[in-house]
Amino acid sequence: MNLLPTAEQSEITSVIADFLANEVPIRRYQEQANLAAPYPAELWQQFVELGWFGVSSPESLGGSGLGMAEEILLTREAGRQLVSPTVLATAFSARLAAEHEQDSLATSLINGEQRAALALRTEGNSYLLFDSEDAEFLIAVDDGRIQLFSNASADSREQLKGTDESLSIVRTTLSAPAVLETDTEGDRLHLAVLLCAALTGIAESACRMAVSYASEREQFGQPIGAFQAIKHLCADMAVRNEAAWSQCVYAGLCLQDKNPDALQQIAAAAKMAATAALENARSNIQVHGGVGFTVEYDAHLLVKRTHVLSEFLNAVISKRDLLIK
């Protein structure tokens, strides 16, 4: 099993990274108009043209027919720039629809005609919807089942102000039955790996941000990165990120190859990815000092998005239960 990307995968990653850095960088959230705002149709179409929503879907439906490795690479880049979770939700929903022979639904998602948003179940039939304004579908995980609901089936909606101001949050109830439902373990673990990849992207972004700031910010006549305390923080961030990313890739390939220990490897990846993202995001703020949690800097956004994605990951996979089996 080779954990290193091929030349073709590296090229795909480079193109995606450049696109995200230019079109949807973290810095876009410095503008009030971009906070909790859905992506406009023009930008969504650019995602479509890049083939994002059909990476692992069959070519017969308009997808690229690639595999788990490419999905992980793209999702990691999305995590680095705090891309709206609607992108991940739409891509996964398209693959899910294709897997369960709902071809027309899969095609509409791959072509960008419809979108999906993440829904987090709280209690009863109550859900929190994230960036769901322009989404036609909602994807949720509950008790090992993945369910795809029509957004139109949501009852009364209450707009909430969440900690992560880059996302819109709506509380609602869903009383209508799901349009697609599956309790297949492979589907659930597939989503878990993608969430792990997004979290490792956040961990990487936090590390890069800290190193960049430590190289520029001067104190006592030299960059603060020259001081041992800062060096150790940055070194620890790099090690955590590399370990989490390696485990994420290995877990994804184990799932793709149907290895017997795939479930345990994904549980380990979930633990390591969530820890790396949170600890690196915290350390990044510490490196930034007193300005680290102010709106003029992006460091605080990494912490907040980590908490949101970690909640989804916890809903998808129980790390403790899997590790003790």
161 lies in the same domain as 272: no
Q: Is the pLDDT of residue 320 over 80?
A: no
Q: 128 has which bridge partners?
A: 120, 171
Residue 43 lies in a domain: yes
63 lies in the same domain as 142: yes
Residue 317: the pLDDT is: 87
Residue 314: the pLDDT is: 93
Nearest Cα residue to 132 out of 33, 32, 38, 46? 38
Cα(181)–Cα(177) distance, rounded to whole angstroms? Answer: 9
Dihedral over alpha carbons 116, 118, 122, 128 (to 10 degrees):
-80
166 lies in the same domain as 17: yes
Residue 132: the pLDDT is: 96
**Domain hosting residue 176, numbered range:** 7-182
Residue that is written with structure tokens 């009863």 in the block? 124
- Domain at 269, CATH number: 1.20.140.10
% of the chain residues with pLDDT over 70: 98
Residue 323: the pLDDT is: 57
126 lies in the same domain as 43: yes
Q: Is the pLDDT of residue 309 over 90?
A: yes
pLDDT digits (tens, 9 = 90+) for 65-110: 999 999 999 999 999 999 999 999 999 999 999 999 999 999 999 9
Residue 1 lies in a domain: no
Sheet holding 145-150: strands in order across? Answer: 158-160, 169-173, 126-130, 116-121, 137-142, 145-150, 180-182
170 lies in the same domain as 203: no
293 lies in the same domain as 244: yes
Residue 194: the pLDDT is: 98
Looking at residues 292-312, what average pLDDT do you find? 93
By the 8 A CB rule, do 75 and 201 touch?
yes
Residue 216: the pLDDT is: 92
132 lies in the same domain as 267: no
Q: Is the pLDDT of residue 319 over 60?
A: no
3-state secondary structure of 106: helix
Residue 140: the pLDDT is: 95
By the 8 A CB rule, do 139 and 118 touch?
yes
Confidence class for position 290, pLDDT limits 50, 70, 90: confident
Residue 2 lies in a domain: no
- Domain at 94, CATH number: 1.10.540.10
Residue 162: the pLDDT is: 87
By the 8 A CB rule, do 121 and 142 touch?
yes
Structurally, how many domains does the chain consist of? 2
- Higher model confidence: residue 90 or residue 323? 90
Residue 93 lies in a domain: yes
158 lies in the same domain as 266: no
Which of 182, 201, 217 terminates a domain? The answer is 182
Looking at residues 168-176, what average pLDDT do you find? 92
Residue 24 lies in a domain: yes
By the 8 A CB rule, do 287 and 210 touch?
yes
- Higher model confidence: residue 230 or residue 2? 230
28 lies in the same domain as 109: yes
Residue 190 lies in a domain: yes
Residue 271 lies in a domain: yes
Q: Is the pLDDT of residue 321 over 80?
A: no
pLDDT digits (tens, 9 = 90+) for 110-163: 999 999 999 999 987 899 999 999 999 999 998 889 999 999 988 889 999 888
Residue 64: the pLDDT is: 93
- DSSP-assigned letters across all residues of 72-87: HHHHHHHHHTT--HHH
Rg (CA), the chain: 19
235 lies in the same domain as 213: yes
205 lies in the same domain as 194: yes
Residue 322: the pLDDT is: 57
Residue 261 lies in a domain: yes
114 lies in the same domain as 219: no
By the 8 A CB rule, do 215 and 252 touch?
no
Which of 123, 148, 182 terminates a domain? The answer is 182
Q: Is the pLDDT of residue 175 over 90?
A: no
Which of 157, 182, 207 terminates a domain? The answer is 182
Looking at residues 245-249, what average pLDDT do you find? 97
pLDDT digits (tens, 9 = 90+) for 17-70: 999 999 999 999 999 999 999 999 999 999 999 999 999 999 999 999 999 999
